[in-house]
Structure 1
Amino acid sequence: MGRRSSKPFWAKDYKKAAYNRQYYRRKKAEQRLSGIIGVAIIFGGIFALSHSNGSHSSKSFPVTPSLVHPAAAESSSGLEAFGHYNPDFDCSVDHSKDSIATLLCENSNAAKHELIFDQTYYALRQIVGKAGWKTLKQQVVSDDGALKACIDTSTPMEEAPKADPDCYISKMAEITDKYKTRLSGAPLEEANRDINEHIKLQQQLINLGYMPAGSVADGVYGESTRAAIIKWQKNTGYHTPTGFLSDDDALKLMASTPVVQATSKSEPEYTSSVTPTNEKESSKSFL
């Protein structure tokens, strides 16, 4: 227990007591401020370190410098997932009885080669037009029959048969090359493009507002992507719109920037009127 004051309360030096109160209040405030500054310095260091690590981390794929542009920095999950590829269908659905679909959902490299085939398929799809879609689909379904050779028939009856990824990749490469012989010019340049850059160009169309902000760059150039390409080509006006991205188109598209950057509340504005398509890119069903 503390020692009691020998002076009555009326005899105490209240001026000195008031000074002491001010002194300790000031010291307490200084200590609090020092604590806040210390926390800020710690968090600042963590933030700088995380950004430093992020900017120096190596990627799992090469990027062609000529196609890299700051306008593409705003990437979708699809772009951020380079190194892991998803097939062009919904893997959340039960595919346990479909050996090939199960393989594509579980094996990134196999899914990548399916997307590479899609580059050629969707270029051909644009060429033949709606009148030729059914015939093209029938041809692809017929050729896909070769993939049955990749399924392990020795699997016990109670288990779903497994598909060999190396066999699938080899067969898909053969099918892709077969259909690619039907392409030339800009469609062939588009089909030959590295799949990562193919996806990056699709993301650029989203970044520029030619496709809805919620669109996903999945590498499938369906109807809304083709419509976006045509609108961009009309807007640039340097050649007749084709709906295909040639090598020259790819360079110009990556160098394009909106006049006003898009925000969460408004769409970007352009030097000439372009209405972003409201059509959502559909999941692949060949048609």
Structure 2
Amino acid sequence: MRVVGWLSGSFLPVMLLWAPALAAPAYHPGFACPRPDGADVLATALCADPVMAKAELDLEKVFYAHRAQEGAGAYPAIKAQAVAYDTALRNTCAIPAAGTPGAVLPVGAAACYVKVTEQQAGEWARSLSGPYAQEAARDIDLHIALQQKLINAGYSSSPMDKADGIYGDGTRTAIKSWQAAYGDSQTGAIADDEVPHVEKLGVSRAVRWASQPPEPSLSSDPDAPPLQRIFQLDMLGIQRPFLEQLTGPAKYINTYADKTTAYTYMIKNCELTAYEQGGQIQGYGLKVTPSCSVPLTPFIQNSTPTIAELTMGDVSAALDGTARPVADCLESCGNAADPNIGLMVQGSHAEDYVNIEVYAPVVDEPALTAYSDWRDALKKHETDDDILSGKFNCDGKYAAAGLHAMRDVPVKQLFVGRGMSGTGQSINGQCGQ
């Protein structure tokens, strides 16, 4: 995926595209094959030989990592390296220059091409470090599949982009946008520890809802697990007796000041809370464990992993960074209950006004570390009274610090619905909402 500019020039012999991610390896150039004019015997050979095409793509993977690491100021020097490589390659392998009339590829030139290209890739790779070195060392199929994930999730400049294995300016911008939404440092290169999180990306809510209708509901499927039947859009606004055909009677009942009643059910040792207001179920909460988990397909279209497999950063990235980091307490919390950190997003008309909240009680190491890091970031600039007031939940001033702190914290509690959970009501109450 590249942008128009000098990148689209002829300083490299070929700019390659790849067949759709996860298809059988069938690498081929990005131009029409076979070449109708035969103006470049090398281009014609690349059309016919996927081994040569893959070698070229492996080189470009390293070349563009080198280019990204060095920055825009080094572009002229990097371009000169590429031109020198093209000339040296053709001389070493006796491949005629582009435009040579009647040229043919010499015997052994294909093997020579692959060998020289691999050597050049290794030479450029030795100058790389950090995430750029990790990117260049990555298997080409995974390299392209990650690029396609970013495109599918709406992080590229155009939904019509296709993964081509070239991490040019457009892909670098997409990576930085994902890193910002995930809460990570914006290097523009995907580090090894970021790979699993990019792989979790589905189609983001904004892109999916704007382009096609939601997937069919599972609410009426008797073969679907009960929790998956409940966490569906058409299960919002229903009457409680209908819900209790799936859940049985409530174990606990609590009523809030806004006349919302929370009914807590146990479904195969999973704790589900249904929030009723005005005689209708307006939202659902779930204590998340590996065995008590649901995909969020109806709500954020991130269907591959279930909520138990996601971190706060994964959820934020799936929501395009629109969720705000929150905590019900960061200072002098007392012993009455464990504080929570998490994310809240308010649904728009395009999302049918469905709100999403995810939380983690501050009880284990990832949550404790995130809680401390966010609190320490605030303490550098704010008084204890400011932190106690919960203003940081409202003004967004420290949202980036909060997201960065909690990006790797697993989700332990989930709420989806048109109202708010009890935790959400407490947090929004600090903001006068």
Match in the other structure for 1:245: 190
The letter for the 2-side match of 1:141 is: V
Alignment deviations for residues 100-140 of structure 1 (CA, whole Å, 9 cap, x no partner): 22211221110101110111100111122222212101112
1:125 pairs, out of 43, 62, 67, with 67
Q: How many residues align?
A: 195
TM-score scaled to structure 1, two decimals? 0.61
1:270 pairs, out of 314, 319, 336, with 319
1:168 pairs, out of 113, 117, 122, with 113
Q: CA deviation at 1:160?
A: 1.8
2:24 pairs, out of 82, 86, 99, with 82
Assess if the C-alpha contact under 8 Å between 1:226 and 1:243 holds in 2: yes
Match in the other structure for 1:254: 199
Match in the other structure for 2:77: 135
2:180 pairs, out of 200, 212, 234, with 234
Measured in 1, the distance between the counterparts of 2:153 and 2:321 equals 13
Q: Secondary structure at the match of 1:219?
A: coil
Q: In structure 1, list runs of 5 or more residues that go unmatched.
A: 1-75, 275-287
Q: CA deviation at 1:97?
A: 2.6
CA 1:264/1:95 → structure 2, altered by over 3 Å: closer, same or farther? farther
Identity over aligned pairs, percent: 32
Assess if the C-alpha contact under 8 Å between 2:55 and 2:118 holds in 1: yes
Q: Secondary structure at the match of 2:175?
A: helix
Q: Which moved more, 1:114-123 or 1:99-108?
A: 99-108
CA 1:202/1:104 → structure 2, altered by over 3 Å: closer, same or farther? same
The CA RMSD over aligned residues, in Å, is 2.8
The letter for the 2-side match of 1:262 is: R
Assess if the C-alpha contact under 8 Å between 1:79 and 1:217 holds in 2: yes
Measured in 2, the distance between the counterparts of 1:134 and 1:116 equals 22
Measured in 2, the distance between the counterparts of 1:108 and 1:94 equals 19
CA 1:119/1:152 → structure 2, altered by over 3 Å: closer, same or farther? closer
CA 1:95/1:111 → structure 2, altered by over 3 Å: closer, same or farther? farther
CA 1:158/1:93 → structure 2, altered by over 3 Å: closer, same or farther? closer
Assess if the C-alpha contact under 8 Å between 1:229 and 1:244 holds in 2: yes
1:147 pairs, out of 89, 97, 103, with 89
Q: CA deviation at 1:94?
A: 4.3
Assess if the C-alpha contact under 8 Å between 2:61 and 2:166 holds in 1: yes
Matches within 5 A, 1:77-116: 77-79=19-21, 81-89=23-31, 91=33, 94=36, 96-116=38-58
Assess if the C-alpha contact under 8 Å between 1:147 and 1:171 holds in 2: yes
Alignment deviations for residues 18-68 of structure 1 (CA, whole Å, 9 cap, x no partner): xxxxxxxxxxxxxxxxxxxxxxxxxxxxxxxxxxxxxxxxxxxxxxxxxxx
Assess if the C-alpha contact under 8 Å between 1:87 and 1:115 holds in 2: no
Q: Secondary structure at the match of 2:24?
A: coil
Q: Secondary structure at the match of 2:208?
A: coil
CA 1:248/1:80 → structure 2, altered by over 3 Å: closer, same or farther? closer
Q: CA deviation at 1:144?
A: 2.2
TM-score scaled to structure 2, two decimals? 0.41
The letter for the 2-side match of 1:240 is: S
Match in the other structure for 2:148: 203
Q: CA deviation at 1:91?
A: 4.5
Measured in 2, the distance between the counterparts of 1:87 and 1:150 equals 20
The letter for the 1-side match of 2:195 is: A
Structure ranking higher on relative contact order (CA contacts 8 Å, 6+ apart): 1
Measured in 1, the distance between the counterparts of 2:72 and 2:34 equals 29
The letter for the 2-side match of 1:116 is: D
Alignment deviations for residues 160-189 of structure 1 (CA, whole Å, 9 cap, x no partner): 221521110000001101111110111011
The letter for the 2-side match of 1:232 is: W
Q: Which structure is larger by alpha-carbon Rg, 1 or 2?
A: 1
> Is 1:225 equivalent to 2:171 in the alignment?
yes
